[in-house]
Amino acid sequence: MSEITVFISYSHDSDAHRERVLGLSERLRADGIATILDRYVEKGSPPEGWPRWMMNGLNAATHVVCVCTEDYRRRFLGQEVPAKGKGADWEGALVTQALYDCPQPHQQVRRCLV
């Protein structure tokens, strides 16, 4: 694997969308790029809990790919109905803080449509 590690942030819009995101991750891995994706967590939930898993994953990553959909945008911005899309909401807050803190955020965060 390369020295690049990509954290993939996305919303669980549908099963088909989740499969497309998994396909993106698998393609990156096939090309030698390490990825961090919730789908690789065994037993359905990380022992440290999702919020800490997300923080740890973002801290371990050299790059972040945000897979943008309308649902993701709404959740990322904290504009979703309460208790829905909490993962993208939380990741949105973490990524926003990282962008604020980083002198050149455009080099570490990429947006993509899948």
Name the one residue in this structure whose structure tokens are 């899309």.
85
Residue 54: the pLDDT is: 92
From residue 69, give the alpha-carbon distance in Å to each of 2, 4, 12, 65: 28, 25, 10, 13
The C-alpha atoms of residue 13 and residue 8 are separated, in whole angstroms, by 15
Q: Show the tokens assigned to 101.
A: 């803190």
Name the one residue in this structure whose structure tokens are 């499969």.
19
Q: What is the mean pLDDT of residues 93-98?
A: 84
Residue 76: the pLDDT is: 84
CB atoms within 10 A of CB 24: 19
Using one digit for the tens of pLDDT, what is the confidence trace for 16-51? Answer: 999 999 999 999 999 999 999 999 998 889 999 999
pLDDT over threshold 50, residue 114: no
pLDDT over threshold 50, residue 69: yes
